[in-house]
Amino acid sequence: MSTESNTKTIQGRTGSWELVIGLEIHAQVASNSKLFSGAAVGFGAGPNEQVSLVDAGFPGMLPVLNKYCVEQAVKTGLGLKAQINAHSRFDRKNYFYPDLPQGYQISQLFFPIVGEGEVLIDLSDGSQKTVRIERLHLEQDAGKSIHDLDPNATYVDLNRAGTALMEIVSKPDIRSAEEAVAYFKKIRTILVYLGTSDGDMEKGNMRADVNVSVCKAGAYERFRETGDFKQLGTRCEIKNVNSFRFMQQAIEYEARRQIEIIEDGGKIDQETRLFDSVKVETRSLRSKEEAHDYRYFPDPDLLPLELELAWIEDIKKSLPELPDDKRQRLVTQYGLSVYDATVLITEQARADYFEAAAKGRDAKLVANWVTNELLARLSKDGHEITDSPLPPEQIAGLVELIETGVISSKIAKTVFEHMWDGKGAVTPAEIVETHGLKQVTDTGAIEKAVDDIIAANPDKASEVATKPQAIGWFVGQVMKATGGKANPAAVNEILKAKLGL
């Protein structure tokens, strides 16, 4: 698999440039309680209703590691084909912030629970590429400061303080905005399949820090050969990007900004930036010179984390079928194209829907209907596949009617419209019956239509003898006369006979 095929070059004034991107993704662990306390984790609780004395940083409170969160991190590591570290450790990252009452965040800097792994990303041209993972570690989230409730005060809500985050750090293997978005999407899909995070970006449960640098052709290859980061340009880190669209825009803006500075003879300062989604630009937040010294040290309240290999093995056995394996199976078991299979595996529920509808039916046809008509209509009307008004049996029923020649593919679109309007209450077969949409295979009826049209158009009929392709016009007329319901093969055959072809 190529690492270079999708590298996009960006044209500057002085020549072309290449992008290098690395992502740090923060995903909230799907868990009922926090990483080091028994306080509940949930959305929609009143301010400070889900806060224990540990989360509030009261003196003398001791953290107790949540085993379930550790299991979720291990599961995620296995899903990312990564090294699980039997030995890891928690460190304190010290800094002051009003929504961090402990005065430090417990994280894993030196010995993360998960080491190197890899992810296969799916690109729009149908190709795939491997992005390597550097590490995954567990850490606490901070609370929230709320600045817009009172002009003279800031409020602090500690409900989120202490919830478990997984930080997934990629190697700088990403070479375009499209690849960055594809990577973010794939990580989200894998986490949702595993059930280790709900991946809900609107709730802020998944967000990414995006590191971007630019360099000249050849520099990246030298970096890959030598591992020397100095071969690359200076990076800027765009904090907390929480939508696919913003990620795309932020990277495109940031790359342009850096290229312009360098081409004007300037230098890139390593800094942390924010993306302003209204102005569609990135802005400096702080430079590396102002960076805090976090004075990391091992948390004295927590023992090192030692995992038993048997426990890791048990977790491995409990893994569900992952997206890439599912795609492979859909292709071999049902003969689907890689493209259709990729659309279906994006969400587990989509693939499940497809498999339920495909039972005993022409699977490719089912995949077509699910990935085209159904998904388009669901998204247009703001539905998820999980609350589709049409259950899989309805699509199966429609495909059965096409397969058995009761309706043509064209009429099937009309039937689908009725199915959608009926919200699944009426079966496709009933719709065909009540609306008289059955394909006309009755040769008598077709013959009559053909006779009428030939009789009304003698000139055209004689023309066909010298210009056989003119038969197309007759086919169109017969279809029109039968409301599109005539069986096309029968129409052709009868026309040929009657026109003496």
Which of 43, 58, 97, 229 is in the footprint of ligand ADP by CB under 6 A? 229
Q: What torsion, rounded to 10 degrees, do the Cα atoms 489, 494, 497, 501 define? A: -50
Continuous segment of H or E residues that includes residue 274: strand 271-276
Helix axes 67-79 and 309-317, enclosed angle (nearest 10): 60
**Closest C-alpha among 209, 207, 213, 208 to residue 254:** 213
- Going residue by residue from 157 to 196, which x/- string records binding to Mg ion, judged by CB under 5 A? ----------------------------------------
Q: Are 134 and 169 in contact (CB under 8 A)?
A: yes
Q: What's the closest the beta carbon of residue 243 comes to ligand ADP, in angstroms? A: 19
Burial 150-175 (b: 16+ CB within 10 A, else e): eeeeeebbbbbbbbbbbbbbbebbbb
Q: Which is nearer to ligand ADP, 63 or 233 (CB)?
A: 233
Q: Which does 229 bind (CB under 5 to 8 A by kind): Mg ion, ligand ADP, none?
A: ligand ADP
Q: What's the closest the beta carbon of residue 30 comes to ligand ADP, in angstroms? A: 23
Q: Which is nearer to ligand ADP, 209 or 430 (CB)?
A: 209
Q: What's the closest the beta carbon of residue 161 comes to ligand ADP, in angstroms? A: 21
Residue 238, classified by CB atoms within 10 Å of its CB into exposed (0-12), middle (13-18) or buried (19+), is buried
Give dist(CA 449, CA 454) in Å, integer.
Answer: 9
Q: Which residues contact 28 (CB under 8 A, 6 or more apart)?
A: 41, 141, 163, 164, 165, 197, 198, 204, 205, 206
Residue 209, classified by CB atoms within 10 Å of its CB into exposed (0-12), middle (13-18) or buried (19+), is middle
**Closest C-alpha among 478, 123, 63 to residue 302:** 63
Q: Which does 22 bind (CB under 5 to 8 A by kind): Mg ion, ligand ADP, none?
A: ligand ADP
Q: Which does 199 bind (CB under 5 to 8 A by kind): ligand ADP, Mg ion, none?
A: none
Binders in 152-171 for ligand ADP, by CB under 6 A: 169-171
- Going residue by residue from 178 to 217, which x/- string records binding to ligand ADP, judged by CB under 6 A? ---------------------------------xxx----
Task: Using alpha carbons only, give the angle 244, 247, 253 rounded to the nearest 5 degrees.
Answer: 145
* CA separation, residue 123 to residues 120, 178, 196, 445 (Å): 10, 8, 24, 50
Q: What's the closest the beta carbon of residue 291 comes to ligand ADP, in angstroms? A: 8
Q: What are 87's strand-pairing partners?
A: 306
Q: Which does 23 bind (CB under 5 to 8 A by kind): ligand ADP, Mg ion, none?
A: ligand ADP
Give dist(CA 302, CA 454) in Å, integer.
Answer: 91
Q: Is 428 in the site for ligand ADP (CB under 6 A)?
A: no
Stretch that binds Mg ion, among 23-31, 362-370, 442-450, 476-484 (CB under 5 A): 23-31
Which of 92, 186, 207, 235 is in the footprint of ligand ADP by CB under 6 A? 235
Q: Which does 330 bind (CB under 5 to 8 A by kind): ligand ADP, Mg ion, none?
A: none
Q: What's the closest the beta carbon of residue 105 comes to ligand ADP, in angstroms? A: 12
Q: Which is nearer to Mg ion, 158 or 236 (CB)?
A: 236
Q: Which does 371 bind (CB under 5 to 8 A by kind): ligand ADP, Mg ion, none?
A: none
Binders in 8-27 for ligand ADP, by CB under 6 A: 20-24
Q: Which does 370 bind (CB under 5 to 8 A by kind): ligand ADP, Mg ion, none?
A: none
Q: Are 20 and 188 in contact (CB under 8 A)?
A: no
Binders in 349-368 for ligand ADP, by CB under 6 A: none
Q: Which is nearer to Mg ion, 24 or 200 (CB)?
A: 24
Whose CB is nearest to ligand ADP?
22
Q: What's the closest the beta carbon of residue 132 comes to ligand ADP, in angstroms? A: 9
Give dist(CA 399, CA 381) in Å, integer.
Answer: 22
Q: What's the closest the beta carbon of residue 216 comes to ligand ADP, in angstroms? A: 13
In the chain, the largest separation of any two C-alpha atoms, in whole Å, equals 101
- The count of other CB atoms within 10 Å of the CB of residue 487 is 18
Q: Which is nearer to ligand ADP, 209 or 281 (CB)?
A: 209
The three-class DSSP label of residue 306 is: strand
Continuous segment of H or E residues that includes residue 72: helix 67-79
Binders in 92-131 for ligand ADP, by CB under 6 A: none
**Closest C-alpha among 204, 157, 164, 160 to residue 63:** 164
Q: Which is nearer to Mg ion, 198 or 237 (CB)?
A: 237
Q: Which does 450 bind (CB under 5 to 8 A by kind): Mg ion, ligand ADP, none?
A: none
Which of 99, 116, 198, 237 is in the footprint of ligand ADP by CB under 6 A? 237
Q: What's the closest the beta carbon of residue 266 comes to Mg ion, in angstroms? A: 23
Give dist(CA 495, CA 475) in Å, integer.
Answer: 8
Residues in contact with Mg ion by the rule CB under 5 A: 24
Residues in contact with ligand ADP by the rule CB under 6 A: 20-24, 169-172, 211-213, 229, 232-233, 235, 237
